[in-house]
């Protein structure tokens, strides 16, 4: 048996090496681990799946709430990943009565485009803007596109979020979303969109 100090050192080295893995490599190794190891497979099953009936949902696909002030929801900015949501408000789904169907626990929200935990989803979990942020040319007062390049670039959006304004609320992309809602996996049919191919 190795001495405890050596075990600690090996564990630290391994932890550091895992921390340096690229995302695709990590996914690939996790898949291999689950193929080879029953305990790992059960661990990931327990972490990554939930019963459909344990997933809280909005009772009706109504229009989301508009928030008049960004400060109102300032303590609810994350997606509920850490800690317990205040009021999950579970709503049973009529068509799945009786059966315990499992489903993936983590998925992407089509509105805020962030990953969320479907079990921790609440009506205040998601904040987003329903329009694209447009460049505010007045804010780039000394910017000549012939000399300095285009105003609307990923770099400028990151460096000067206050120079990009959302049509939906006239706020800048520095501010939080003007709509507070549940994270959503799919578009609601009530939203204006083209359903056909
Ligand atoms: Zn907005
Ligand atoms: Zn969301």
- Angle between helix 38-48 and 23-36 (nearest 10): 120
Question: 121: which residues sit within 8 A by CB, 6+ positions away?
Answer: 55, 56, 57, 80, 85, 88, 182, 183
Cα 7 to middle of ligand 2, angstroms:
42
pTM above 0.85, yes or no: no
The residues pairing with 181 across neighbouring beta strands, listed in sequence order, are 126
Cα 135 to middle of ligand 1, angstroms:
14
Question: 32: which residues sit within 8 A by CB, 6+ positions away?
Answer: none
Cα 127 to middle of ligand 1, angstroms:
9
Give the whole-angstrom CA distance, residue 80 versus residue 109.
Answer: 13
CA distances, 96 to each of 53, 90, 99, 113, 182 (Å):
8, 14, 6, 27, 21
Cα 178 to middle of ligand 1, angstroms:
4
For 141-150, what is each residue's pLDDT tens digit? 888 888 888 8
Nearest ligand to residue 181 Cα: 2
Residue 69: predicted pLDDT: 47
Residue 49: predicted pLDDT: 96
Question: 145: which residues sit within 8 A by CB, 6+ positions away?
Answer: 151
Residue 141: predicted pLDDT: 83
Radius of gyration of the chain (CA): 22
Q: Tell me the Ramachandran region of residue 131: left when phi exceeds 0, alpha when psi lies from -120 to 50, beta otherwise.
A: beta
Residue 62: predicted pLDDT: 55
Residue 7: predicted pLDDT: 84
Residue 5: predicted pLDDT: 73
Residue 87: predicted pLDDT: 46
Angle at 77 between CA 71 and CA 82, to 5 degrees: 145
Cα 64 to middle of ligand 2, angstroms:
12
Residue 137: predicted pLDDT: 85
Neighbours of ion ligand 2 (CB under 5 A): 109, 111-112, 126, 183
In the predicted model, residues of the chain with pLDDT beneath 50 are 68-98, 190-197
DSSP 172: B
Task: Looking at the chain, list the stretches that DSSP marks H as alpha helix, in order from N- to C-terminal side.
Answer: 4-19, 23-36, 38-48, 145-148, 154-159
Cα 161 to middle of ligand 1, angstroms:
14
Nearest ligand to residue 121 Cα: 2
């Amino acid at each position: 048996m190795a001495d405890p100090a050596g075990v600690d050192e090996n564990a630290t080295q391994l932890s550091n090496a895992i921390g340096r893995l690229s995302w695709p490599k990590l996914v690939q190794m996790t898949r291999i681990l689950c193929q080879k190891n029953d305990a790992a497979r059960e661990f990931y099953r327990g972490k990554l799946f939930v019963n459909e009936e344990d997933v809280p949902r909005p009772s009706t696909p109504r229009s989301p709430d508009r928030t008049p002030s960004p400060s109102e929801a300032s303590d609810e900015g994350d997606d509920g990943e850490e800690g317990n949501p205040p009021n999950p408000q579970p709503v049973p789904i009529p068509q799945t009565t009786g059966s315990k169907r499992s489903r993936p626990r983590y998925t992407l929200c089509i509105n805020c485009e962030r990953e969320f935990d479907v079990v921790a989803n609440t009506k205040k979990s998601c904040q987003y803007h329903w329009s694209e942020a447009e460049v505010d040319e007045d804010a780039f007062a000394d910017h000549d596109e012939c000399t300095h390049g285009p105003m609307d670039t990923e770099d400028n959006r990151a460096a000067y979020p206050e120079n990009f304004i959302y049509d939906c609320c006239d706020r800048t992309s520095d501010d939080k979303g003007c709509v507070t809602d549940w994270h959503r996996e799919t578009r609601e049919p009530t939203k204006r969109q083209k359903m056909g191919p």
